[in-house]
Structure formats: C-alpha cells, structure tokens
Amino acid sequence: MQRSPDPLGSCTECGTSLFDVDVLVAYETDDEREYYAECPDCRTVVHPR
C-alpha cells in the first residue's frame, strides 16, 4: 500500500490521525474501502472514522 499524505481517519479511542502505514486489514464493501488499523499512540486496533 502506498503512503498517502492524507489521513484515512482517526482513532476512535484517542483521536490520533491514522495513515496507510497503520493499516492492518483493508477490504472492499459494496461501495467503499474499509480499514482496520492499529493506532500508533494508544496501540488499539480500530476501525478509523
């Protein structure tokens, strides 16, 4: 996965911005791409929003 300068979203626990490098799993739904990522600050696995 290429690193994007724009965040994918933020951690739902602490609010830290999440980037491509933080993604653990990426998958396609009917109309968009979804992610699970590990927050580099609080180390929680989250679904970025």
Whole-prediction pTM value?
A: 0.78
Total domains in the chain come to 1
- Residue 1 domain flag: no
- Residue 4 domain flag: no
| Four-point Cα dihedral 36, 41, 42, 47, nearest 10 | -20
Residues of the domain holding 31: 9-46
- Residue 40 domain flag: yes
Pull the structure tokens for residue 9.
């979203």
Secondary structure string (H, E, C) spanning 6-42: CCCEECCCCCCEECHHHEEEEEECCCCEEEEEECCCC
What are the pLDDT tens digits along the chain (49 aa)?
A: 555 578 999 999 999 999 999 999 999 999 888 999 999 999 999 998 7
- Residue 28 domain flag: yes
Closest CA relative to residue 16, chosen from 47, 45, 42, 35: 42
Q: According to the model, what pLDDT value does residue 25 have?
A: 96
Q: According to the model, what pLDDT value does residue 31 have?
A: 87
Looking up tokens 């290429």 gives 2
